[in-house]
Chain A
């Protein structure tokens, strides 16, 4: 069965520091890959997604993610974190062959930003 793992439950970074959130997937083929952000008390917003092609994907709010097939990873990065980035981040996967299989989410990584 497909699965997605976010190894870090909680990360704290200083404002202005760089950020990397890890995501690993287990799938028979390269799935569609997504990163969503959930700000406190809000719904989920799509940051970026990878289907194929260039393995470095640019998203909104200055985020990017790199797909590495050899490591089954899709880590999210940001060069300089702002206090407003404090939120819960979810990696998600979907099968590449279409169909009705729903999006499967990781358990999330909570990002705290300190001054």
Chain B
């Protein structure tokens, strides 16, 4: 059983399009995250939600809009895609928002903008 699942795994799209990546966790966790991994494998947090409430919003273009309909889901919508948005996007979750909580990652969504 997949704990943190995200879809699609691979996405190739043209510049200017709008796309969404969905994420669901079945661990009963309160906190969910989106991380971005660039071409050099560097991982950086984008957003964090706790019980559907936004708690971390790093410096991310407002073309990126997370949405959490319930605490088990955190979707990422991206408007007007740009070449530089090409990356791997990881959804993750943890039991709660405290920094000592182990973060569990999904398998990633490989986004290629052409």
Q: Using CB atoms and an 8 Å cutoff, list the residues of chain A in contact with chain B.
A: 32, 34, 36, 38, 41-46, 49, 51, 88, 90, 94-103, 105, 107-108, 110
B108 contact set on A, CB distance < 8 A: 41-43
User: Do A98 and B41 touch (CB < 8 A)?
Assistant: no
Within 8 A of A (CB), among B76-113: 90, 92, 97-100, 102-108
A23 to B47, CA, bound (A): 25
Query: Interface size on B (CB < 8 Å)?
Result: 25
User: Do A42 and B107 touch (CB < 8 A)?
Assistant: yes
Q: Using CB atoms and an 8 Å cutoff, list the residues of chain B in contact with chain A.
A: 4, 33, 40-45, 48, 55-56, 58, 90, 92, 97-100, 102-108
Who on chain B is nearest to A108 by CB?
Answer: B41
- 18 residue pairs bridging A and B, Cβ less than 8 Å apart: A43-B4, A43-B106, A44-B92, A45-B105, A46-B103, A51-B100, A96-B99, A98-B100, A99-B98, A100-B48, A102-B33, A103-B45, A105-B43, A105-B44, A107-B40, A108-B41, A108-B43, A110-B41
